[in-house]
């Protein structure tokens, strides 16, 4: 009996990962940061990033910023055989986890949506803003996503898991 072992690639702020390995899961933890999960369902390749800030005033190519982070991710996918016209995106994060801080999460979410709109990459699913921390798992070859919503104050599950169709978002 051949048993498949699933591996997890954790990404942190300012990182991204791309894969066409069906046994790889990309995972991250999001507060006010946003993760763009982008995939080509025909080529069965995808990737995710984790960015911190909405936009650079200087037009920096620093991948801590939305536009640079998403551009690097898209270009990595294209170099590995994805076709731009087939790309689909899912966006997560942008929470306001502290009422005492500016709502950087909303600005991050808006910057990602604007970039993808300008690049004609459809956003097929999203879970943005609110007050929850999100634990994200993304299967890059299928576009499947699992989210665990956490209470920012106690870092424990905040809701009962919901199952959503495989190509959308699965809350657990």
Give the start-to-end residue ranges of the domains of the chain: 7-171
Residues 17 and 47: beta-carbon distance below 8 Å:
yes
Beta carbons within 8 Å of 164's beta carbon, 6+ residues apart: 170, 171
How big is the chain, counted in residues? 172
Percentage with pLDDT > 90 across the chain: 66
Q: What is the pTM of this model?
A: 0.84
Sign of the alpha-carbon dihedral angle for 111, 80, 58, 51: positive
Bridge partners (DSSP) of residue 134 are: 30, 149
CA distances to 31, 53, 157, 168 from 101, in Å: 12, 14, 23, 31
**pLDDT single digits (tens) 45-77:** 999 999 987 776 666 566 777 898 999 999 999
Beta strands in the chain (DSSP E): 7-10, 15-19, 24-30, 34-40, 45-50, 88-93, 123-128, 133-139, 144-150, 169-171
129 is catalytic: no
| Average pLDDT over the chain, rounded to an integer | 86
Contact between 43 and 82 under an 8 Å Cβ cutoff? The reply is yes
Chain segment 85-134, per-residue pLDDT in tens? 999 999 999 998 877 777 889 999 999 999 999 999 999 999 999 888 99
CATH of region 7-171, choose from 3.30.365.10, 3.30.1330.200, 3.40.50.300, 3.50.50.60: 3.30.1330.200
Set 11, 24, 25, 33: catalytic member: 33
């Amino acid at each position: 009996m051949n048993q498949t072992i699933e591996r997890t690639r954790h990404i942190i702020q300012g990182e991204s990962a791309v894969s066409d390995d069906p046994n790889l899961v990309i995972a991250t933890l999001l507060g006010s940061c946003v993760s763009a999960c982008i995939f080509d369902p025909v080529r069965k390749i995808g990737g995710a990033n984790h960015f911190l800030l909405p936009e650079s005033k200087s037009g920096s190519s620093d991948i801590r910023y939305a536009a640079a982070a998403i551009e690097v991710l898209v270009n990595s996918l294209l170099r590995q055989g994805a076709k731009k016209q087939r790309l689909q995106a899912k966006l997560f994060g942008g929470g306001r986890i502290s009422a005492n801080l500016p709502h950087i999460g909303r600005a991050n979410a808006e910057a990602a949506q604007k970039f993808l709109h300008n690049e004609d990459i459809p956003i097929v699913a999203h879970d943005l803003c609110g007050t929850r921390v999100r634990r994200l798992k993304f299967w890059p070859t299928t576009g499947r996503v699992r989210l665990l919503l956490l209470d920012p104050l106690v870092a424990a599950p905040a809701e009962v898991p919901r199952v959503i169709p495989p190509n959308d978002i699965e809350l657990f």
